[in-house]
Amino acid sequence: MPVVAFYSRDSNLELQDEWEKRLGAYYPRIKLVPLLSDQAKEAITALLWKPPLQRVRKLSNLKGLISLGQGVDHILKDNLIDNKIPVVKIVDPFMAKSMSHWVILSVLNFIRDTFGYYDQQKNKIYRSRKEINFSSLKIAVYGIGAIGSVVAKDLKHLGFKVEGWSRTEKNITGLNSFNGKTKFKELLKKCDIHICLLPLTNQTYNIFNNSAFKIMKPGSCFINAGRGEQVVEKHLIENCKSGRISSAILDVYRKEPLSKNSKLWEQKNIRIWPHVAAETNPETAAKQIANAIKCFENGKLPPNTIERKLGY
């Protein structure tokens, strides 16, 4: 019976049971045990989301780790996990489309001034508001991997002018894509809506700081569903106050859950979402996770094993 150590921050046994049921459909008799239990010492594989890494290090039988999401920074953090242990990320079309839906929702809310109309309703004001000319807008998507490329293409299909940026060179049919620091600054200067979907690495940490925001056009929109640590939140608030950023829509934060004392709550042109833009769905992701577990059990590298040097 394959034993898998399981940990998902802020979850309960119901979630563990659901994953065990879903995985069992593809790998019968699989058993998930809590990472913090004594049984976890038997595990060859661990299925994790933001786990206590010191505990993971103590599992001497591990052959591989599987992230319960697209990101793996929570596993690679502080280089606590042996580089020889393979790490797998989820690449799920359902997650990509969920993210695309959330980004499109955010873009349309900005263009049509949805929240302005909500405020008018509260005050019983029946009046049209200024609509932004979407045909003249330019949208930059930073991070055009498995998820970002889907988002960029879907935005293009809606008639938007979209360009992509990534740390390494990409060749995506139908999408103008760029890489490198110079091109990053060019997109910051010429685009009106900036969407961050980057993985968190040493190179993307604090990438959206005061220098980046100051380059953006006055009145720009900033959308972040990448990682909170990519944004200097103090600098974002300052630029939202000044109007350089007219609207910011955030789904991720430097510390989660977002503290009630955070000043992000107080800034009227910042919209807060609780890290739900593209949640992992056990129903759609179970098959690939079960396959990854089988691969580790048989001494093979699963699909979507990350490159440790790149960090994703």
Q: Name the average pLDDT for the chain.
A: 96
Average pLDDT for 286-304 = 97
Query: Confidence band (pLDDT; 50, 70, 90) for 10?
Result: confident
DSSP string of the chain?
--EEEEEETT--HHHHHHHHHHHHTTSTT-EEEETTSGGGGG-SEEEEES--HHHHHT-TT--EEEESSS--HHHHGGG-S-TTS-EE----HHHHHHHHHHHHHHHHHHHTTHHHHHHHHHTT-----PPP-GGG-EEEEE--STTHHHHHHHHHHTT-EEEEEESS----TT-EEEESHHHHHHHHHH-SEEEE-PPP-TTTTT-BSHHHHHHSPTTEEEEE-S-GGGB-HHHHHHHHHHTSEEEEEES--SSSSPPTT-TTTT-TTEEE--S-TT---HHHHHHHHHHHHHHHHTT-PPTTB--TTTT-
At 198 the pLDDT is 97
Residue 259 lies inside a defined structural domain of this protein: yes
What is the percentage of the chain residues whose pLDDT exceeds 90? 94
Please tell me whether residues 263 and 284 are part of one structural domain: no
Residues 146, 27, single domain; the answer is no
User: Exposure of 206 by Cβ count < 10 A (0-12 exposed, 13-18 middle, 19+ buried)?
Assistant: middle
27 assigned to some structural domain: yes
- For the entire predicted model, the pTM comes to 0.93
User: Are 83 and 169 in a shared domain?
Assistant: no
d(CA 280, CA 69): 6
Cα separation, 67 vs 72, whole angstroms:
6
- N-term to C-term CA, the chain: 30
What length does the chain have? 312
Nearest-CA neighbor of 145 among 96, 188, 94, 102?
Answer: 96
Q: How far from 82 is each of 14, 44, 62, 75, 235, CA to CA, in Å?
A: 30, 14, 10, 11, 35
Identify whether residues 167 and 237 lie together within a single domain.
Answer: yes
Is 80 exceeded by the pLDDT of residue 14?
yes
Percent of the chain with pLDDT over 70: 100
In this structure, is residue 308 part of a structural domain?
A: no
pLDDT confidence of residue 250: 98
Residue 306 maps to a domain: no
Domain around 206: 93-272
Amino acid identity, residue 74?
A: H
Asked if the model's pLDDT at residue 11 lies above 80, the reply is no
Residue 81 within a domain: yes
In a domain, 29, yes or no: yes
What total of structural domains would you count in the chain?
2
Residue 278 corresponds to which tokens in the numbers above? 């593209």
The tens digit of pLDDT for each residue in 63-76 reads: 999 999 889 999 99
Summarised one tens digit per residue, pLDDT across range 253-292 is 999 999 999 999 999 999 999 999 999 999 999 999 999 9
Q: Count CA within 13 A, CB hemisphere, residue 155.
A: 34
Whether residue 68 is found in the same domain as residue 181: no
C-alpha span between 305 and 63 (Å, rounded): 13
Does residue 129 surpass a pLDDT of 80?
Answer: yes
- CATH number, domain with residue 124: 3.40.50.720
Residue 214 shares a structural domain with residue 151:
yes
- Return the pLDDT at 309: 87
Is residue 216 one of the residues assigned to a domain? yes
Same domain, 77 and 166: no
Contact 254, 236 (CB under 8 A): no
- Mean pLDDT value of segment 249-254: 98
| pLDDT at position 310 | 87
Is the confidence at residue 43, as pLDDT, over 90? yes
Query: Using one digit for the tens of pLDDT, what is the confidence trace for 160-181?
Result: 999 999 988 999 999 999 999 9
114-123, pLDDT tens digit by residue? 999 999 999 9
**CA distances in angstroms from 48 to 155, 289, 305, listed in the order given:** 32, 11, 15
Query: Is residue 310 one of the residues assigned to a domain?
Result: no
State whether 248 and 103 are in the same domain.
Answer: yes
Specify the pLDDT at position 12: 78
Residues 134 and 260 in one domain: yes
Regarding whether 120 and 12 lie in a shared domain, the answer is: no
101 and 40 in a common domain: no
Spatial distance between the Cα atoms of 46 and 238, rounded to a whole number of angstroms: 41
* Same domain? 62 vs 150: no
**Tens-place pLDDT, residues 192-203:** 999 999 999 999
